[in-house]
Structure 1
Amino acid sequence: MADRILVIYGSYRADRMGIRLADYIVAGLNGRGADAELVDAKAIGLPLLDRMYKEYAPGSAPPAMEALADKIRTADAFVFVTGEYNWGMQPGLKNLTDHFLEEWFWRPAAIASYSAGRFSGARAGMMWHGTLSEMGMVVISSTLAIGPIAETLTADGKPSGPAGAFLDRAFPRFADDLAWWTEAARAQRARKAPPY
């Protein structure tokens, strides 16, 4: 059975660069036999958080939220692709993530960060680590940090130049780490029900 992995991307900008990294990760995971799917916060278009999914009466959540809740519940793992905005989290990704809570529980999450500069979104990645842990996910230790993104990936998500070659070398370890934790979490959930 292929690992069902959601690659979650949250930029709402007109000239989005991080979509290159999200596309690269989806293609890379699918190339390794996973069933990876892009979840694009901009395309889904959830409003600013008013009520969480769980705060709606059953069957009354907006259709886009209901569909995403089902995808999250049935996923084996997640990859969060995050840009860094002024040393902070990307607001579109945080907004999408905060609409849900229990749906995320007991699965592994990986973080891939990017920026236009040399820090590669690492500061946002550090913030996401604590946030995703608090939301009930096991955050793997391997990360991808890409920058400058325009020099690393072409517009169609293909590696470019020395930075792209580095990404190609780093991706297998990242994917192996995620696959290991995905298998471990699935086996544990089958063996014993989560405590809550």
Structure 2
Amino acid sequence: MTTAPSPLTVAVITASVRDGRLGPALTDWFTDRARARPGLVVETVDLRETPLPLTLPEPGQEPPAEAAAVRDALRAVLERADAYVVVTPEYNHSFPASLKNVLDWFLAEWAAKPVGFVSYGGLAGGLRAVEQLRQVFAELHAVTVRETVSFHTAWERLDAEGRVLDDKAADAAAVTLLDQLDWWGRALRTARAERPYGT
């Protein structure tokens, strides 16, 4: 008799910290779909609620106590996660500085884990931010999945209450993204258990 595989833990990261941001609405939309999928446990990280200073401590040095507390809380979520989804806008053909800062604060936590993207913006739908993030995550030894969910002219995709309007294409894209994230998440989790990454 085979046992059911253990749930896959996915951390969904809201990247924008600006006033008036659309990120939380898109995060809610995506996490609703992820949580409805059997075998997934979803945790959320809002970078506006978990600010880290732009000045990183020297190697081997501890940051101030408040920054250390935020770092440790974020580290715990990132370490638990088997996979990540980044919900990001496109700012000036790139991704938010708040996200780059968090990526720079951590290293081993990202390694040998898959990353998916939900992007949003104007005509490009945030895809230029995603293409740059693929390069950054490769340097962090993470694996980015091919399929994305992108919201073009995103402000037109929300109703008066700030909720994402029904969108069959976006729903289908989310299913495909989650399929790939689930496959890579389980495959890499098994590989890390058999042989720690980097050994």
Q: Report how far residue 193 of structure 1 moved.
A: 2.2
C-alpha change, 1:157 and 1:134, in structure 2 (3 Å) is farther
Deviations 1:125-181 (A, max 9, x none): 1000110111110111111111121222447674415xx222112111111010000
C-alpha change, 1:51 and 1:168, in structure 2 (3 Å) is same
Q: Which of residues 165, 169, 173 in structure 2 aligns to 1:170?
A: 173
Query: Is the Cα contact below 8 Å between 1:106 and 1:137 reproduced in 2?
Result: yes
Q: Report how far residue 57 of structure 1 moved.
A: 4.8
Name the CA distance, whole Å, in 2 between partners of 1:155 and 1:38: 24
Task: Give 3-state SS (helix, strand or coil) of 1:178's partner.
Answer: helix
Q: Report how far residue 12 of structure 1 moved.
A: 1.4
2:13 is aligned with 1:8: yes
Q: State the identity %.
A: 31
Deviations 1:53-91 (A, max 9, x none): x64459x76111111111111210001111111111211
Name the CA distance, whole Å, in 2 between partners of 1:141 and 1:85: 22
How many aligned residue pairs are there? 191
Name the CA distance, whole Å, in 1 between partners of 2:109 and 2:189: 15
Task: Give 3-state SS (helix, strand or coil) of 1:111's partner.
Answer: strand
Q: Which of residues 173, 177, 184 in structure 1 aligns to 2:187?
A: 184
* Pairwise CA RMSD: 2.1
Q: Which residue of 1 aligns with 2:105?
A: 99
Q: Which residue of 1 aligns with 2:3?
A: none
Task: Give 3-state SS (helix, strand or coil) of 2:145's partner.
Answer: strand
Q: Which of residues 74, 80, 88 in structure 2 aligns to 1:82?
A: 88
Q: Which residue of 2 aligns with 1:29?
A: 34
Q: Report how far residue 29 of structure 1 moved.
A: 0.9
Q: Report how far residue 25 of structure 1 moved.
A: 1.6
Tell me the TM-score normalized by structure 1.
0.89
Structure 1, unpaired ranges of 5+: none
What amino acid is the match of 2:186? Answer: E
The structure whose residues are more often helix, as a share, is 1
Name the CA distance, whole Å, in 1 between partners of 2:54 and 2:194: 38
Query: Is the Cα contact below 8 Å between 1:51 and 1:99 reproduced in 2?
Result: no
Query: Is the Cα contact below 8 Å between 1:111 and 1:144 reproduced in 2?
Result: yes
Between 61-70 and 178-187, report the one with greater CA deviation. 61-70
